[in-house]
Amino acid sequence: MASAFPSGEMAHVDAKGAVVETPSLLGGPAHSHKAPQPRSDLHLPGVRGREQPRPGDLSEEEVDERLDALIGGAVLPYEARDPPQDLDELRRRTDVEIDRDFEPFPHVVSACGVTFISERRVDRNFLDAVTKVTAEMFADAAGIDVDRQLHVMRQCYCYRATCYILYGDHPDTDVTPTKFTRATNSVCDCIGYGVAHRQPMEVLEHVLHHVTDVGMHYEFPEWRLSEGSQLHVVMRRAIDDKGIYNVERYKDYGSWRVRVELQEFAWWLIATYWDLLEELGHRGGPDDDEWKLLTREELEDTLPDAIELCKATVDKVLVAPDRQSLMYFKQFEGAVPSPVAITFESNGTRQTVKFNYQPLGFEYRRSRMWQWCPARRSRLVKVSKVEAHEQAATKGVKSGAVIRQINGQDVTGIGQFRKLLSDALAAFPEANRD
């Protein structure tokens, strides 16, 4: 899934994404698995670096300047924190910590240089499993160039690769990181928790987006997020010559387009190279409109240059995670109920807001004003109070707004609205207040 922030906030591709000379590709040995680094509760250097600003430290103009400097609208063009003296410390997985600077994603874990920030309602076992899979990808396995692998993790850490985790699927929520979070971290995409299908690959895809966009981009010239890199050359061959990668859906991404196309191509490439697509039921195959291949054998036959690229780079630093670790995520599929969509009207303008948990954060009452409903008159239902910092306030609901619809059904009176709302919230979870 491509990163999808509001189009009005698209950033300029910074010149620091320029291509450097690409060395010749060399074959690499196949690797075998070793057990991943055992879990450690040792606290790594803080999520914020020594000079990392906090919300409120930067003016709006300074935040916008940093957004404009991001490579492809996502990747920091400078190191934002110092690495630990012993890079092996980056292999360790951290327990959940609370960092309110990342609101509305205050739950924070990390592994192998990648930081994961999540909404409160995401199951902590899910967060633990995300760091486990990440650690398995960076296992010290046979054939791995350990020094190069550690430096990929270092790049992820120093350039603050930060993946946010939504409670629910991306189309069902309007929760996104703040401009400040995006301006001070390399936020490339998000994981949806509790999606209806393909939860294992939902996780793996978006972990890999941050590893390739940040770690591989800065460690391997072949993986630069810019035109002319080896990754870009192979991608264009997949698009123009082989017709196996369709990028039509990214045509409106403006200055983000090259980065997003390379990000998605890198994911498809590695997942196919690791032979995971067919087994785990992700998109792909003859009926798919983005990626046409399912197996490594098909990749070898169709795009041999991609195989050589992976042997020369991926095999040196990454390992396919354990299948059981990926399948563990199946239990979370469908864990999030469908959002409740409520349409409000203020000053003649309607706004539909998707609520994902309780409390919704507003109170309502019957207005003194009347409205005409089928065969009768009824009084309008209006928002009487919006609780500060609660869900409704963060989504822009205003006191005094008229409630027009709930889940697409017109509101005809307060009794009917109360019944519709009660039915819709029957399966909704309460907010975690940590």
Q: What is the pLDDT along the chain (434 residues), one digit of tens a residue?
A: 554 333 333 232 232 333 333 333 333 333 333 333 333 333 343 344 457 899 999 999 999 999 999 999 999 999 999 999 999 999 999 999 999 999 999 999 999 999 999 998 899 999 999 999 999 999 999 999 999 999 999 999 999 999 999 998 766 567 899 999 999 999 999 999 998 888 999 999 999 999 999 999 999 999 999 999 999 999 999 999 999 999 999 999 999 999 999 999 999 999 999 999 988 865 544 446 899 999 999 999 999 999 999 999 999 999 999 999 999 999 999 888 778 899 999 999 999 998 877 889 999 988 765 444 444 445 789 999 999 878 888 888 999 999 999 999 999 888 888 999 988 888 776 766 56
Give this prediction's pTM: 0.78
The reply to whether 172 falls in a domain is yes
Return d(Cα 217, Cα 233) in angstroms, integer: 15
CATH code for the domain in which residue 387 is found = 2.30.42
**Quick one: 326 and 359 in the same domain?**
no
Q: Of 332, 350, 371, which residue constitutes the final position of a domain?
A: 332
Cα→Cα distances 358→16, 340, 354, 393, 421, Å:
44, 10, 12, 13, 11
Q: Which domain holds residue 295?
A: 60-332
**Quick one: 172 and 82 in the same domain?**
yes
What angle do helix axes 199-210 and 124-137 make, rounded to 10 degrees? 60
The reply to whether 31 falls in a domain is no
- CA nearest 120: which of 104, 99, 102, 136? 104
Handedness of CA 267, 269, 271, 276 (dihedral sign): positive
Q: Of 332, 363, 385, which residue constitutes the final position of a domain?
A: 332
The reply to whether 38 falls in a domain is no
161: β partners: 186
At 221, list the tokens.
């010239």
Return d(Cα 292, Cα 298) in angstroms, integer: 9
**Quick one: 182 and 67 in the same domain?**
yes
Phi, psi torsion values for 147, nearest 5 degrees: -60, -45
Would you state the pLDDT for residue 7? 31
Return d(Cα 427, Cα 430) in angstroms, integer: 10
The reply to whether 28 falls in a domain is no
Return d(Cα 12, Cα 255) in angstroms, integer: 6
**Quick one: 66 and 151 in the same domain?**
yes
**Quick one: 291 and 402 in the same domain?**
no
Q: Of 306, 332, 358, which residue constitutes the final position of a domain?
A: 332
**Quick one: 212 and 306 in the same domain?**
yes
Would you state the pLDDT for residue 259? 98
Give how many domains the chain has, as a whole number. Answer: 2
**Quick one: 376 and 245 in the same domain?**
no
The reply to whether 220 falls in a domain is yes
Which secondary structure element, helix H or strand E, spans residue 380, and what is its range?
strand 376-386
Return d(Cα 90, Cα 94) in angstroms, integer: 10
**Quick one: 323 and 357 in the same domain?**
no
The reply to whether 103 falls in a domain is yes
**Quick one: 327 and 350 in the same domain?**
no
Return d(Cα 280, Cα 322) in angstroms, integer: 12
What is the C-alpha R_g of the chain?
23
**Quick one: 319 and 254 in the same domain?**
yes
DSSP label at residue 430 = B
The reply to whether 398 falls in a domain is yes
**Quick one: 76 and 119 in the same domain?**
yes
**Quick one: 286 and 355 in the same domain?**
no
